[in-house]
Amino acid sequence: MKKLANKVAVVTGAAHGLGRAMAGLFASEGAFVFAADIDAEGAEAAAMAIRDEGGAAQAIAADVRDESQVQALAATVSGRSGVLDVLVNNAGNLIRKDFRHMDDADWESVLGTHVWGTVRVTRALLPLLQRSGKAGGAAVVNLASIMAGQHFRQVSSYSASKAAIEGLSRSLAVEFAPYGIRVNYICPGFVPTAMTRQITRPGFSDGLLRQIPMRRFGTPEEIAKAALFLACEDSSYITGQGLTADGGMSINLV
């Protein structure tokens, strides 16, 4: 039996990279997937790719920094399904600047997407998650990063936002447990995507690869499999935990 058969899932940031891989994998495992993204054309392309493979999906154009758009997202999900079994808060962005050059708009963009986006989407969809929780269980999977605890220059806003995601996830795991909702988070290592191309580009990436015991970057599909594990019944007794998928980078001393 498919791991998400007859389940309803929302994946934010689903147009590209990790989110698109998660949306595709979830659909292949039987879920109806709402593919949400600020990039409306990208979200529709992701949903269409799922449908072309025989899956079920609907695109939703939404900027998680905008409360009205998040409420519209929730209304769409509620109108279509009335319940929500899986939420993946994946929407993200990255601004690389020295701290001294980052203004309020830069900080608001990054924190607004990662932290406030996760708060807004989870808050708006909580009633639907609670319905599924009472009926047998629901799951929230948040995207943190190894950058919450390991750092290099010019990513202070990103690292701060991911550390906040970790703390928020653990807190919500305790608060949501009585509702039958599990909350976990993934800490990916370096995965080449459009968002990370500044860091994983050839030349710059050589030093990073030497710090990864497996000597390679991850793939979106590998992170999607980690998300699937936390989203499905295979992790039914796991909540408030972070799953690190980084090729061993975070445990390497050299």
Torsion angle (degrees, nearest 10) of CA 93, 132, 233, 238: 70
Is-catalytic flag, 237? Answer: no
CB 142 within 8 A of CB 91: no
Coil/strand/helix, residue 61: strand
Rounded to 5°, the CA angle 11-12-18 comes to: 80
158, 179, 185, 237: the catalytic one is 158
Query: Which alpha helices (DSSP H) does the chain contain, by range?
Result: 17-28, 40-52, 67-80, 104-111, 117-135, 156-176, 197-200, 205-210, 220-231
Cα separation, 84 vs 28, in Å, equals 17
**Residues carrying an active site annotation:** 158
